[in-house]
A and B are shown apart, each in its own frame.
Chain A
């Protein structure tokens, strides 16, 4: 049914509209046709990522003063939602790449702009954020590995539990302790180029869903990097991750699950209209139970989108404030004093809220499509598996719910006191 009244309630800027339409076109023409094969083979979506890069979307969050488009988290969410509808694996890779960009944009200076920023804007570099360590599990704020200063720069020996685009990325942003003397939150941020022969991917990614994102353990085994590989000051990592990476990461994850939910809903609607019972000559759409399922799915997808856009807009507002504090060299101390600010709690809540919706909507789409969706290779079968990744991907939904609950109830957070250890 056409939109007679055009009351979507969100007025995009001309630029936002341009990026969203571009992403939709890329998703439909390049990502969606490859999605089934990427899933079946568990192959890294190199071709789809090239299409995203060729469209100029890979540098979306690089600020204008560094030569990038200078778009914010809201625009990014609109773009990623479109990509995720085409191929969730590709969108997840893009999400992890984008999670590095605000930090790089805020910290890159001098030769780093030419070395790191330019290839990203030109679409030649796809990156990954490599954080989680075996000792910390999904408590991403805690690192055990550390940098060792030497006369050539720094030696990094760090084992990371899961890293999207493992062995495929052109660069990795790797947070480690600034040295072996400091605490688990005194983090340095290093850009390690993917061509470093001492980067060792461990095993092969064979996940239940999101099968194209190559999310394996990775060992940066004695990677020697120059001084210029470090972004910002020696211990800025914790606050920069909170202020600049977390919004793109959490909103990005939620948006991927929103895209999955939308794709499942669309597939279900198309299926029930097309499937005609030979005895009654009526489509599945005529069944009241199906009608109710479809309405419930629509409502939940709309809820998810409202939440994503709201927190994305909050993130853009927060970024302006963080930039102001960063320019006065106050960001680190302010973030360390306020890691459980309500804004960060909103970010935590967003991921599991949307992920739960995605699981519910894909589940209902599965139910509506019946045996057809139970067959390997059906889009809804793939989307059910893709959505399931969200609840366990770090930080897991259970960890995030603890954070939200503790904040509401005034109970100390898991990271309280860690900075002093």
Chain B
């Protein structure tokens, strides 16, 4: 059916961008310097397609990209990024500075202040944004 097909296409776009992010992130030596001792779960929630994926950052590496979120509600190690699917895709492909997305009201981030700064610094290091 058409609706199922669209959903499948949308899902793959966001998931693809996260895998792309995983490769870029893991290959960057500067990022490793930046995230020493910083283990987090990066949850991407698409507000228009209701997709949820979680990226696990562990021991200086993104070790996993999975559907849903393996952590309980309220876990302080979870950083949640909420935006439209297209916005999330552009952010994870380095085409939209997450700090700008936040200011533009296109992105909501639920995390501690230090984690927000860390994400901004990661974006700057990887994409020079």
Contact = CB atoms under 8 A, between A and B. Distances in A.
A and B together in one complex: yes
Interface of A: 320-321, 324-325, 328-330, 333-334, 337-338
B128 A330 contact: no
A330 B117 contact: no
B121 A337 contact: no
A416 to B, nearest CB: 15
Interface in B103-126: 117-118, 120-121, 124-125
Given A330-B30, A330-B34, A333-B30, A324 B121 contact: yes
> Chain B contact residues: over half helix, strand or loop, or mixed?
helix
Interface of A is mostly: helix
Given A334-B125, A338-B128, A324 B30 contact: no
Contacts of A337: 128
Nearest to B121: A324
B62 to A, nearest CB: 18
Interface of B: 30, 33-34, 36, 117-118, 120-121, 124-125, 128
B59 to A, nearest CB: 16
B117 A328 contact: no
A46 to B, nearest CB: 41
B30 A321 contact: no
Contact of B33 (A321, A328, A338): A328
A186 B118 CA distance: 28
Given A328-B33, A329-B33, A321 B125 contact: no
Given A325-B124, A330-B33, 11 more contacts: A321-B117, A321-B121, A321-B124, A324-B118, A325-B34, A328-B33, A329-B33, A333-B30, A334-B124, A334-B125, A337-B128
A330 B36 CA distance: 13
Given A330-B33, A330-B34, A325 B121 contact: yes
A325 B128 CA distance: 13
Nearest to B36: A328
A334 B33 CA distance: 13
A320 B121 CA distance: 10
A201 to B, nearest CB: 42
Contacts of B36: 328
A88 to B, nearest CB: 34
Most buried by B among A320, A324, A328, A338: A328
Contacts of B121: 321, 324-325, 328, 330
A320 B124 CA distance: 13
Nearest to B118: A324
Given A337-B128, A338-B128, A321 B120 contact: yes
A330 B34 CA distance: 8
A320 B33 contact: no
Nearest to A320: B117
A328 B118 CA distance: 11
B100 to A, nearest CB: 10
Contacts of A333: 30
A344 to B, nearest CB: 13
A321 B34 CA distance: 12
Given A320-B117, A321-B120, A328 B34 contact: yes
B111 to A, nearest CB: 14
Contacts of B118: 324
A10 to B, nearest CB: 18
A13 to B, nearest CB: 15
A328 B125 CA distance: 11
28 contacts: A320-B117, A321-B117, A321-B121, A321-B124, A324-B34, A324-B117, A324-B120, A324-B121, A325-B34, A325-B121, A325-B124, A325-B125, A328-B33, A328-B34, A328-B36, A328-B121, A329-B33, A330-B30, A330-B33, A330-B34, A330-B121, A330-B125, A333-B30, A334-B124, A334-B125, A337-B128, A338-B124, A338-B128
B120 to A, nearest CB: 6
B25 to A, nearest CB: 15
Nearest to A327: B34
Contacts of B34: 324-325, 328, 330
A329 B125 CA distance: 12
Contacts of A328: 33-34, 36, 121
Nearest to A322: B121
A321 B102 CA distance: 15
Contacts of B33: 328-330
A321 B124 CA distance: 10
